[in-house]
Amino acid sequence: MLDELINRLRRDFELAMLTLFGGSAVLGIFPFAIYRFLQGDFWIGVVDSAIVLGISSAMLHAWWTGRNRAAGIFMVVCNTLGSLTITVMFGHHGLPWVFVVVVTNFFLTERRIALAANVLLLLVVWTREGSFISSLEQMSFIVTSALVCAYTYIFAWRTASQRQRLEALASQDPLTQTGNRRLMEMELERVIGMHRRTPDAYGLAIFDLDHFKLVNDVYGHEAGDQVLISFADILRRRTRKSDRLFRMGGEEFVLLMANTTVEQMRHVLEHLHRDLQKELDGPGGPVTVSVGGAGLYAQESWQDWLARADAAMYAAKHRGRNQVVIAEDLG
């Protein structure tokens, strides 16, 4: 169980950041809440407790649903409102927390959302009477907080750009620009986890180009590569943005379809198959495709799900190739 949780954190950078911040907030702020209650500062203790509750709830939501973006935005809201409240209650004694919030916001959500929240926070603090004990302190805070915000924005931007490039190299098939097998396995495992919590319908299909070895043997690997590129381009144009296409290996591709029932998947695959028959050509003429599809069962592992789709694809091969077979029809 622990190994599974650690592996999930290694695979999901956003979830790791949300968990790091959520855990730090609980460990760092909750003791202050207890101390405030013990000292009789009831309302300050309530504010600290509310911040901890909001941030920890968002963290648990990310773990439970996989919706990191929504959880990150909610954490930023909790951060910003909490910092404003503390500054109002403590005056200039609450200013150090503003710097913490400005920095962490950029690592919890999209930069533009974090920047908007930070600008709003700083403008309110800068212009509020009673936040500073002197004009010199106010000017010093304005300059230093603006610099911290700007430098953190640049750092977050550079970090995100480098991470995206590295993730693309590690998870993308360089020939077809589709996801590779590593990314496919990660996505299927993620979907299985989400399906166990919220049982939405998913469809999985395997596409295998018929007699593809002959294309390579007769016309060369360069011609074969061009057929694979054309196949991937056709599917990208004919599928939704939410659908995920992967190259599993060789001439086999996997299509993952969210919010898709078995009957909807059948319709989609038959439509895609017709489009491929019309558009997919090789140097020796049309290239046909055998397709196998499978819906996701409750409590099914991604390996079993993939195996059922693979069995359906091989059934299409055995029935003469160039057709669609759905696993649920095999009995």
pLDDT in tens, 244-274: 999 999 999 999 999 999 999 999 999 999 9
User: What is residue 88's predicted lDDT score, i.e. its pLDDT?
Assistant: 83
Domains in the chain, start-ordered, CATH in brackets?
2-171 (no CATH), 181-329 (3.30.70.270)
Q: What is the mean pLDDT of the chain?
A: 91
Q: How far apart are CA 133 and CA 93, in angstroms?
A: 10
What percent of the chain shows pLDDT beyond 70?
Answer: 99
What does the pLDDT read at residue 44? Answer: 84
Nearest to 316 by CA among 327, 326, 325: 325
CB 43 within 8 A of CB 85: no
Is the pTM higher than 0.75? The answer reads: no
* pLDDT 10s digits, 278-308: 999 999 899 999 999 999 998 899 999 999 9
Convert the pLDDT of each residue in 79-103 to its tens digit: 999 998 888 888 777 888 899 999 9
Query: What confidence score (pLDDT) does residue 248 get?
Result: 95
Active site residues: 251
pLDDT greater than 80 at residue 141 = yes
pLDDT digits (tens, 9 = 90+) for 148-176: 999 999 999 998 888 888 888 888 999 99
Concatenated DSSP letters of 4-60? HHHHHHHH-HHHHHHHHHHHHHHHHHHHHHHHHHHHT-HHHHHHHHHHHHHHHHHHH
Both ends of the chain: CA-CA distance in Å?
34
User: Residue 1 — pLDDT band, cuts 50, 70, 90?
Assistant: low
Q: Is the pLDDT confidence value at 10 over 80?
A: no
CA 252, 254, 259: angle at the middle one, nearest 5? 165
What is the percent of the chain where pLDDT is above 90? Answer: 66
> Residue 41: which pLDDT band, with cuts at 50, 70 and 90?
confident
